[in-house]
Amino acid sequence: MIHSVVIVGGGTAGWMTASYLKAAFADRIDVTLVESAAVSRIGVGEATFSTIRHFFDYLGLDEADWLPKCAGGYKLGIRFENWHGNGEYFYHPFERLRVVDGFSLADWWLAIGDHSRPMDRQVFLTSALCEAKRSPRMMDGSLFVSGLDGSLGKSTLAEQRAQFPYAYHFDADQVAAYLRSYATERGVRHVVDNVQEVLQDQCGWISGVRTAEHGVLTGDLFVDCTGFRGILINKTLGTKFESFEDVLPNNRAVALRVPRETETDMAPYTTARAMSAGWMWTIPLFRRNGNGYVYSDQFITPEEAERELREAVAPDRDDLEANHIRMRIGRNERSWVKNCVAVGLSSAFVEPLESTGIFFIQHAIEQLVKHFPDKTFDPALIEAYNRRINRAIDGVKEFLVLHYKASSRADTPYWKESKVRAMPEPLAERLKLAETQLFDEETIYPHYHGFESYSWNSMIIGLGYRPKKPLPALAHLDPTDALAEFDKIKTEAAEMVAALPSCYDYLASLNE
* Residues 328-351: b if buried by 16+ CB within 10 A, e if exposed: bbbbbebbbbbbbbbbbbbbbbbb
CA-based nearest residue to 335, from 299, 371, 374: 371
| DSSP code at position 326 | E
| Catalytic status, residue 416 | no
Cβ nearer to ligand FAD, comparing 253 with 500: 253
**How far is C-alpha 74 from the chain's CA centre?**
14
Check: CB of residue 501 under 8 Å from CB of residue 138. Answer: yes
Q: How far is CA 435 from CA 99, 345, 387, 416, 431, in A?
A: 21, 35, 31, 21, 7
Residue 435 CB neighbours (<10 A): 12
Cβ nearer to ligand FAD, comparing 59 with 217: 217
Closest distance to ligand FAD from the beta carbon of 229 (Å): 5
Report the alpha-carbon distance of residue 178 to residue 174 in Å, rounded.
6
Check: CB of residue 190 under 8 Å from CB of residue 184. Answer: yes
Cβ nearer to ligand FAD, comparing 292 with 462: 292
Q: Binding residues for ligand FAD, per CB under 6 A?
A: 8-14, 34-36, 39, 41-42, 44-48, 172, 194-195, 225-227, 229, 231, 253, 292, 325, 327, 344-346, 352, 355-358, 361
Report the alpha-carbon distance of residue 350 to residue 331 in Å, rounded.
8
Report the alpha-carbon distance of residue 162 to residue 159 in Å, rounded.
9
* Binding-site positions for 7-chloro-L-tryptophan: 75
Cβ nearer to ligand FAD, comparing 326 with 488: 326
Report the alpha-carbon distance of residue 169 to residue 338 in Å, rounded.
35
Closest distance to ligand FAD from the beta carbon of 33 (Å): 9
Phi-psi region of 344 (alpha: psi -120 to 50; beta: other; left: phi over 0): left
* Binding-site positions: 10-13, 75, 195, 345, 354, 358
Cβ nearer to ligand FAD, comparing 324 with 375: 324
Question: Which residue is catalytic, options 22, 69, 75, 397?
Answer: 75
Written as one letter, the residue type at 197 is E
Report the alpha-carbon distance of residue 136 to residue 133 in Å, rounded.
9
Phi then psi for 345, rounded to 5 degrees? -65, -20
Cβ nearer to ligand FAD, comparing 264 with 298: 298
Catalytically annotated residues: 75
